[in-house]
Structure 1
């Protein structure tokens, strides 16, 4: 089970990891994270960076070591990772690598209520999803190929994982789309009947509860 962190936003982990390199002010932290494309790896809300940094400092994971001013710009506070912050980052990374966690995904949410649409519509939508997945996979692989010539693989494994997950999703979506197209998807006749007869959701729920959908499949 995931530990309860003093600052649990994953942006906090990104900040800790970035400051492990050297002290920085918030603008430099943000610029470094954006330059490295960390928003692709983590659910980063840039507007919360100020609050995250402030809370990390409040809990002793960062410390202020000074301020700097460049020209007419406002004074900028410089933060440094503390020993407690380094220990927190180390422990957090170990937890995330070793402990599987269910990750909420919009696609899973849609699949859970896909019965609201007729199966033929779902086939069309899945075909469009496959087209977009192909584009994303090609872009990820192209980026990996370009970066692998100048960046050690150690710093590209998150991109390898993203590409592998996209390819796994593509294989699963293709199989589902093909079953629906061929009519071999278990329960597709009942699904079609739901929409052909414009059955009410409550009536469908009652039929499922009674097992009537199995009779529909056998018909």
Structure 2
């Protein structure tokens, strides 16, 4: 189970990882995060960066070391990571790597209501998604291969994961489409009957009743 953290926004994790390299002011932190592609690894809301930095400072994970002024730009505070911040960074990373947590991607939500679509439409939409996944995977493979010529693989592990996840999803969709096309998907006949007649199959109605009676 995920720990309740003093700063739970994943942007905080990213900031700590950047400051583990060297002290920076928030503007530099944002540039480093973009340069390292951290906005591709997690949902970053750039407008909350300064709030996250202030919260990390408040809880002792980072500390201000100096304020600098460049030309006519506003004064900027430079922060460094503290010992407590390094400990938090390591503990957070260990948790994320070792402990699987439930995640709720949009595709899963769509699959949960798949029966509201006619089977033929559902299959067509799944084919559209599959085609896009294949294009995305091909582009990701090409991009990854290019990066590997310049960057050690260690720093591209998350890109490998993304590619593997796309491949796994595409394989699963192909398998589901094969069952739909062959007519072997359990419940397919009732699903089709419901959309073609408007009548709920008895087995579907019984399932709904059984489920509601156990709540």
Q: Return the TM-score normalized by structure 2.
A: 0.92
Please give the alpha-carbon distance, in whole angstroms, between the structure 2 residues aligned to 1:12 and 1:208.
45
* Contact 1:62–1:80 (Cα < 8 Å) also in 2: yes
Give the aligned partner of residue 137 of structure 1. Answer: 137
Deviations 1:81-140, CA, capped at 9 Å, x for gaps: 011000000111111111111211000010001111111111111001011101111111
Distance 1:189 1:6 in 2: 52
Question: SS state of the match for residue 72, structure 1?
Answer: coil
- State the match for 1:45 in structure 2: 45
The CA distance in 1 between the partners of 2:31 and 2:72, in whole Å, is: 20
Corresponding residue of 2:205: 206
Q: CA offset at residue 198 of structure 1?
A: 2.1
How far does residue 205 in structure 1 lie from its aligned partner after superposition?
Answer: 5.7
8 Å Cα contact 1:194/1:204 also seen in 2: no
CA–CA distance in 2 between the matches of 1:19 and 1:210? 56
How many equivalent pairs are there? 210
Specify every segment of 5 or more residues in structure 2 that has no aligned partner in the other structure, as ranges: 211-215
Alignment of 1:1-219 (within 5 A): 1-199=1-199, 206-209=205-208
C-alpha RMSD of matched pairs (Å): 1.8
Q: Does the aligned pair in 2 maintain the 1:26–1:78 contact within 8 Å?
A: yes
Output the TM-score relative to the length of structure 1: 0.91
